[in-house]
Amino acid sequence: MAENLAPEKRHTFVHNGQKVFEWDQTLEEVNMYIELPKGVSTTKLFHCTIQASHVEHDLTHPVKTDSSFWTIEDGEMHITLQKREKGKTWSSPIQGQGILDPYAADQEQKRLMLQRFQEENPGFDFSQAQFSGTCPDPRTFMGGIHSE
């Protein structure tokens, strides 16, 4: 059931007609996907440092560096950023780049809220649930998210 609330597709940031990165998010993490140039297929040829608010560029929100990481597989770099604020809806991983339009941002917030409901009520299926009007913030609604 929870898989039904996973990101359906990646968001894409395109600059000057070229795809820069794709990304998606869950309640707890933001994932970035970057196609690497031909010939760069090994971690020996590439290095990436994840800081609390920076990964080559400034991040939109801070992350937990001890549980964030990157990998390279099949010519794609995958960066997993652990959100410092579980449930926070990000409009983009990188400040000022690839920001979601208001409709897409609202859809993300609704999906994350349903993901939160699913996490808190594992016996129920919220995959077909819908919100009418503005969706509440998943971090604060009904007492907020309870971390372990």
In a domain, 130, yes or no: no
Domain that holds residue 64: 3-120
Per the structure, how many domains does the chain have? 1
Q: What is the CATH classification number for the domain harbouring 59?
A: 2.60.40.790
In a domain, 131, yes or no: no
- Digit-coded pLDDT (tens) for 95-125: 999 899 999 998 898 889 888 888 888 888 8
Prediction pTM value: 0.86
In a domain, 89, yes or no: yes
In a domain, 14, yes or no: yes
- Confidence band, pLDDT 50/70/90 cuts, at residue 3: low
Mean pLDDT (the chain, rounded): 87
In a domain, 63, yes or no: yes
In a domain, 10, yes or no: yes
In a domain, 132, yes or no: no
Give the Cα separation of 53 and 39 in Å (integer): 29
In a domain, 37, yes or no: yes
Q: Is 101 left (phi over 0), alpha (psi -120 to 50) or beta?
A: beta
The full 3-state SS of 19-71, as one line of letters, equals EEEEEEECCCEEEEEEECCCCCCCHHHCCCCCECCEECEEECCCEEEEEEEEE
What share of the chain in percent tops pLDDT 70?
92
